[in-house]
Amino acid sequence: MSTFPGVGDAMPDIAMETPEGGSVKPSDFAGSKLVIFFYPKDDTPGCTTENKDFSALKGDFEAAGTKLLGVSKDPAKKHAKFIAKHGLTAPLASDAEDGGLSDALGVWAEKQMYGKTYMGMVRATYLVGADGTIARIWDKVKVAGHAEEVLAAAKAL
């Protein structure tokens, strides 16, 4: 079993595709704190709520010197539709490539539902310090109140 980066380790610097067709990677945010929230799928109830919650608090995160980045395996074009449909302001990135950031962190993992086993995105959030090291990890996130909890941690960092 390989070990994945944890608190105190450097955030892996792996590029992902933006909805505009560009690319983004954690080091692009050097000098700022960064919240990367991984979620399973665009336009599903929990994921929509989580993205809306982070978007609603974007100004508060910015005031705390913290950038946001939501990540799923959905294609960039689907992210663009998701952003437009729900008026999301938290930037999104597509981590669709094998060996991507979600693989490097172990959040692309085996899941089970209704007795079936499949690969899927674990709902997890990483708070990265301005120096690029992982300051806090939330795994198996419950959506209700999560964005507020992450904001409090970002303010305290």
Q: Is 110 helix (H, G, I), strand (E, B) or coil?
A: strand
Q: Which of these is catalytic: 47, 127, 135, 150?
A: 47
* Tokens representing residue 64 in the block: 């705390």
CA 131 to chain centre: 18
DSSP state of 9: S
Nearest partner of 70 among 114, 140, 121, 106, judged by Cα: 121
Note if 47 is an active site residue.
Answer: yes
Q: How far apart are the first and last CA of the chain?
A: 31
Q: What residues are annotated to the active site?
A: 47
